[in-house]
Amino acid sequence: MNYRVEEIAARAGVRVDTIRFYQFRGLLPRPRREGRIALYDDGHLERLRRIRELVDQGFTLAQIKRLLERESEAEDRPLLEALVEEHVGERTFSRAELAAEAGIPEELIGAAEASGLVQPLQIEGEERFSAADREMAHAALRILNAGFPLNELLALAVQHARSVQEISDRAIDLFDDHVRKRAAEHGDTGEVTDAFRNLLPQLTRLVALHFQRTLVSRALHRLAGRGEDDDLRAALAATESASLEIAWR
């Protein structure tokens, strides 16, 4: 069945300019044309509904584009479904709402976005932020209140984010080679979903604990090298009484 842009927008529950925006971003194929009339088909309608479903799940448009590119591969479907199930972000916030919820200026959110630390969602052509962004903003504010300079903290965060992205890509390759492909050979699609669901919180905890241990160890080493015995004893007492808790939905 063929649809004009206004018709397919109504059926998909999106605005006309949203459809054109998705085309511009490469998420939606171009329509065929009869003269000056653009005609969409059921394939376009299905794609629009899938995009909206993923947006509602909290995925960014860049993530959605990668997911859609891989969904054509049947063997990738179980992992994609697991990603959708585990993704955090049921409620979204405007920039002003996020600033109010986190207690930080909107300009600071803009700086984090410009640095690539925050990736807003695009919902109906509007920038929206996830619950995970709100929690990150809370944590960042507590760190800033400790007296760290904003510019230096942002630079450090950008460096950390780049390293994490590189390591994450390598971890995904390992999962792909040793879990997903093995499960596909056995015809066990449920194994992929179960493995992802079970491994994700363990990997999150492993990375956080390793970072904490390394940070504490390096700090104590530096204090010992300076001969700052009082500070060293205080730091040791603090680390011995502290426990790291990692919550996972």
Find all residues with CB under 8 Å of 84, minimum gap 6, and list them: 54, 57, 59
Tokens of 142: 């507590």
| Per-residue pLDDT tens listing for the chain (249 residues) | 899 999 999 999 888 988 988 998 889 999 999 888 999 999 999 999 988 888 877 677 777 887 787 665 555 555 555 555 555 445 678 888 888 888 888 888 888 888 778 878 766 567 788 777 888 888 888 888 888 888 888 888 888 888 888 888 888 888 888 887 777 676 666 677 777 778 877 888 888 888 888 887 887 777 777 766 676 667 666 665 555 555 544
Q: Which long-range contacts (CB under 8 A, 24 or more apart) does 11-19 make?
A: 11/45, 12/45, 12/48, 12/49, 12/52, 13/52, 14/48, 14/52, 14/124, 15/124, 15/125, 17/125, 18/124, 18/125, 19/48
Q: At what angle do helices 150-175 and 189-226 cross, to 10 degrees?
A: 140
Q: Which residues in the chain are classed under CATH 1.10.1660.10?
A: 1-86
CATH number corresponding to 1-86:
1.10.1660.10
Is the pTM for the entire model greater than 0.75?
no
Measure the CA angle with vertex 129, ends 128 and 130; round to 5°: 130
Q: Please say whether the beta carbons of 27 and 61 come within 8 A.
A: yes
Q: How many CB atoms lie within 10 A of CB 128?
A: 20
